[in-house]
Structures are given as structure tokens and as C-alpha cells.
Amino acid sequence: MKKQTLHTIQALKHKGEPISVLTAYDSTFAKLISETGVEIILIGDSLGNVIQGQDSTVPVSMKDMCYHTTCVARGNKGALLIADMPYMSYATEKQTLKNAAKLMQSGANMVKLEGGEWLTESIRKLTERGIPVCGHLGLTPQSVDALGGYKVQGRDKAAAEKLEADAMALQDAGVSLIVFECVPKDLATRLTQKLQVATIGIGAGNQTDGQVLVLQDMLGLNDDFQPKFVRNFMAEPGVQSIKDAIEAYVKSVKDRSFPSESHTFD
């Protein structure tokens, strides 16, 4: 696969070709995922759940994120690497710059921050200094306690208007991508059409510019709880290996058969 950059990702949006994204936390899976054609690898703080066995992403530290970003970077064969800024690592602008630099030095091509308009000054400072930023709106797992649990966001008019205002503010501040998590499909579709930057959905319908899933979820390894937006690609007809499952995921993202209505919120 040719090396993915901000320009190649943005070109996919303009062409209308869906962007495939998966999480990875180690060198072996990073190599397999990138060689299978996934354009973006997210080193997610979801590692708290699927690697560390935590109940949420809150306990994940900067040390954890830098370690796993380094591991993924070593195995990556061309995918764009996005690393999550973990809980309370970007509470102040000074903190944000210091910790984003650590992730970039660990091998990330971009950092991801959860939150809306309150992040705009930090985003401007990062982009001015050459650090690309991905925003994350809707259900933001680091704020799950404040949100009252893992709930769909933006269903009522006021919440939808706030989410749209946040999305536009992030774009104006300089983000290059925005993830929409657990957002009604019509709202995510409307925002994708309105925004100039590419959008990546997870539980946000199939009309966003791309899709992301946690690797362990799409491999059917999470038996305890499977969110509505997850599809087990290891259970697909003809799939006999992890590589087959990842290829099936990429194909289903590209032809927009995933997510289907059964994986979508109204």
C-alpha cells in the first residue's frame, strides 16, 4: 500500500471513496492491518479496555499511549497513524503541546482529542506548530461519567445544534479529521456533507467519509458486550483467518454495506 498522508486521506473524501480505519496496539497487528489496505490505524485509548482489562479509558496514561504508539509505528507499512491523547493529558494548552509532542515523537502522524469548542485554542496552537489534529465528537468515552453512560448523542434538537456548532468550531480551528461516535445517522450525514474535512464514523451510519472499529470488536473477541455498531467479521462466510476478516471489513466499508441499518442509530 502506498504511504497514506493527510493529502491522500482528504483526496478519498473528494472522490467519495470510504476510508477504512482500525485500531491497533502492537507491531504485529499494525503490520497486518496496514498490509491489508486499511488507510488509517488508530492507536486508541481503548487499549484500556481491550489490552489492560479496564472498565473505561480513564486509567490509560501518557506512558501507555507512547509505548503502544512506538510499537505500532515499528510494524506499520504505510497507514496514517493517529494516537489518542489520553484522559486529562490536554486539560491545559501547555499540557496539550507537551503531550502531543511526546506522541508525535513516538511515531504518530496525528493526535486525537475528545471534545468540542473548548478545545479550539489548543487545536490552533498544535496546528500552528505542525501537529495535525483529529477531533472526536458525540459519545466521548473519556467523559462517560459526565455523560451518564454510553449513550447516543445529538438526538434532540438542542444537542444536535450543539454538536454541529462544535464540529464547525473544530474545523475552523484547524482539525484535519473528525470522528463521530454514536450519533444519529441523519445528523452524521448532514455534518459530513457540510464539513470540508473528512469524517470517520463509529455508530454514525454509512454516509460518513469513513468507518472505524476496535480491532478486537470486529474480530468477535469481546464476548461480554457487543455494541450495536459492531459487526463480527470473523463470522463472515468464507473468512478463515484474521487477514480474511480484515479484508472483509475493508471491502464492506468501501462498498458501504457496513454499517447496515442494524448497526445504526436513528
- CA angle 89/51/179 to nearest 5° reads 55
Is the CB of residue 104 less than 8 Å from the CB of residue 131?
yes
Cell of 164: 454541529
Residues designated catalytic? 181
Is the CB of residue 209 less than 8 Å from the CB of residue 193?
no
Q: How many CB atoms lie within 10 A of CB 203?
A: 27
Q: How far apart are alpha carbons 256 and 58 in whole angstroms?
A: 32
Q: Which residue has the cell 467519495?
A: 16
Three-state SS letters, 67-118:
HHHHHHHHHCCCCEEEEECCCCCCCCHHHHHHHHHHHHHCCCCEEEEECCHH
